[in-house]
């Protein structure tokens, strides 16, 4: 339903785009002069942008956009660490932003070039991982929870224990900090602990409950669920909700376990050695336009950080009222956020994750 609405809106707006090569797809956003003929290279997560977002930016500014995808923060970070191969825009999660700031892998934003920063919800500005938004601005936010096949689990799922004990194939998400965060939470520890013994206990906790795991999904658990490879997958909320919408059926559902789960924010940032940082700033401002931001969130089924889009009624009402997309304050009380870690912490988590993968054959 959400994607169909966006597609219809796109059709209605086509004549506006054709009238002027320098008019934005949506009234209100104008591309600054002087970028015609330039190129922007974007590196983003898969299934994470509306179908018309990039074409409309190319049309508005008279530019070319090359668009590549990655499947995990670790994969993206490894590529940038080796030497930026030419990306102007990346979309790291909050804790990865902090790591990249620490390791001098991001360039500061020129906020004067991004007036649509004013559209961002104050609750999502000045985050702990990037004080003052010196290096990043929020793109989308959401939760990690449990997607499942309702035909295989007609009574539903409400807890992590039901995931661990399910007598059928399960996929876990290839997100080490979140997976360890779940285990630490259930063990009564801080999901962001730096204690080696607690991290080891979380590793052992997951190993003991990995008997039904058939895959560690690289942000494609929804595909495995749709194919019938798994009955349950730990995944980002938008991926499961988009699957449920596309099939126009009741076969797939998404739930936040009652014990608690992770809340994340993905961010727009510019890596060091970006070939075109000025056009990257323009693109960030474009994405933060109220209508553009609403179109992205309505399409991806993730929560928008764009308060202007919400206030102007541009977010699909059904989505806005869905607690699995826009969690209530009560729900958010049970959610944790992965925060900045030291290099020593990273090593502890990475080693523990590698040991876990070896045990389960990942």
Mean pLDDT for 140-158 is 97
| Res 245: pLDDT | 87
190-233 pLDDT, tens digit each: 999 999 999 999 999 999 999 999 999 988 899 999 999 999 99
| Res 2: pLDDT | 34
Q: What percent of the chain has pLDDT over 90?
A: 85
Q: State whether 180 and 297 are in the same domain.
A: no
CA 88/CA 288 separation, integer angstroms: 17
| Res 201: pLDDT | 98
Q: Residue 65: what are its φ and ψ, rounded to 5°?
A: -115, 125
276-311 pLDDT, tens digit each: 999 999 999 999 999 999 999 999 999 999 999 999
Mean pLDDT for 133-141 is 98
Those residues with Cβ within 8 angstroms of residue 93's Cβ, 6 or more apart along the chain or in another chain: 73, 264, 265, 266, 267, 338
Token pair of 360 as six digits = 């389960």
Q: State whether 100 and 126 are in the same domain.
A: yes
Counted domains in the chain: 2
For residue 166, give Cα distances in angstroms to 175, 219, 232, 262, 360. Answer: 21, 21, 9, 21, 17
Q: State whether 15 and 161 are in the same domain.
A: no
Q: State whether 79 and 163 are in the same domain.
A: no
| Res 341: pLDDT | 84
CATH number for the domain that contains residue 25: 3.40.190.10
Q: State whether 94 and 215 are in the same domain.
A: no
CA 312/CA 8 separation, integer angstroms: 19
Q: Note down the domain range covering 220.
A: 142-263+328-360
Angle at Cα 141 formed by Cα 130 and Cα 27, nearest 5°? 95
Q: State whether 80 and 28 are in the same domain.
A: yes
Q: What percent of the chain has pLDDT over 70?
A: 92
Using pLDDT thresholds of 50, 70 and 90, give the confidence band for residue 110.
very high
Is 308 in contact with 157 (CB distance < 8 Å)?
A: no
pTM: predicted TM-score of the whole model, two decimal places: 0.85
Q: State whether 194 and 248 are in the same domain.
A: yes
Using pLDDT thresholds of 50, 70 and 90, give the confidence band for residue 27.
low
Whether the per-residue pLDDT at 161 is higher than 60: the answer is: yes
Q: State whether 257 and 280 are in the same domain.
A: no
Collapsing DSSP to helix, strand or coil, 99 comes out as: helix
CA 302/CA 242 separation, integer angstroms: 9
Q: State whether 213 and 343 are in the same domain.
A: yes
Mean pLDDT for 236-256 is 92
Q: State whether 19 and 129 are in the same domain.
A: yes
48-76 pLDDT, tens digit each: 999 999 999 999 999 999 999 999 999 99
The number of CA neighbours under 13 Å toward the Cβ of 65 is 22
Mean pLDDT for 265-269 is 97
Q: State whether 252 and 352 are in the same domain.
A: yes
Average pLDDT score, the chain: 91
Q: Which residue intervals of 155-311 are DSSP H helices?
A: 160-164, 176-186, 196-208, 221-227, 237-247, 277-287, 290-300, 307-311
Top-confidence residue, 159 or 247: 159
Q: State whether 235 and 295 are in the same domain.
A: no
CA 57/CA 228 separation, integer angstroms: 37
Burial class for 115, CB neighbours closer than 10 Å (0-12, 13-18, 19+): exposed
| Res 79: pLDDT | 98
């Amino acid at each position: 339903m959400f994607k169909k609405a966006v597609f219809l809106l796109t059709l209605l707006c086509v004549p506006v785009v054709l009238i002027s090569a320098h008019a934005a797809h949506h009234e209100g956003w104008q591309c600054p002069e002087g970028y015609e003929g330039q190129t922007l290279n974007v590196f983003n997560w898969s299934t994470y942008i509306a179908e018309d977002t990039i074409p409309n930016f190319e049309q508005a500014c008279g530019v070319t956009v090359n668009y590549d995808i990655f499947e995990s923060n670790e994969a993206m970070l490894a590529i940038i660490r080796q030497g930026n191969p030419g990306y102007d825009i990346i979309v790291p999660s909050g804790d990865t932003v902090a790591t990249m700031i620490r390791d001098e892998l991001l360039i500061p934003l020129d906020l004067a070039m991004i007036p649509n920063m004013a559209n961002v919800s104050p609750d999502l500005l000045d985050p702990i991982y990037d004080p003052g938004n010196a290096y990043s601005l929020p793109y989308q936010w959401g939760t990690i929870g449990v997607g499942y096949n309702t035909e295989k689990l007609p009574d539903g799922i409400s807890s992590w224990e039901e995931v661990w004990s399910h007598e059928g194939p399960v996929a876990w998400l290839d997100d080490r900090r979140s997976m360890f965060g779940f285990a630490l939470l259930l063990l009564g520890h801080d999901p962001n602990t730096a204690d080696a013994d607690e991290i080891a206990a979380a590793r052992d906790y997951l190993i003991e409950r990995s008997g039904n795991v058939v895959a560690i999904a690289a942000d494609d658990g929804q595909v495995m669920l749709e194919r019938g490879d798994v009955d349950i997958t730990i995944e980002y909320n938008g991926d499961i909700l988009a699957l449920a919408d596309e099939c126009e059926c009741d076969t797939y559902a998404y739930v936040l376990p009652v014990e608690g789960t992770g809340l994340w924010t993905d961010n727009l940032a510019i890596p060091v050695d970006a070939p075109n940082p000025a056009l990257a700033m323009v693109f960030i401002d474009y994405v933060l336009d109220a209508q553009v931001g609403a179109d992205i969130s309505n399409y991806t089924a993730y929560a928008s950080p764009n308060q202007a889009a919400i206030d102007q009624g541009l977010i699909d009402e059904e989505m806005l009222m869905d607690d699995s997309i826009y969690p209530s304050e009560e729900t958010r009380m049970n959610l944790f956020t992965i925060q900045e870690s030291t290099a020593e912490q990273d090593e502890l988590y990475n080693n523990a994750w590698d040991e876990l993968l070896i045990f389960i054959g990942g």
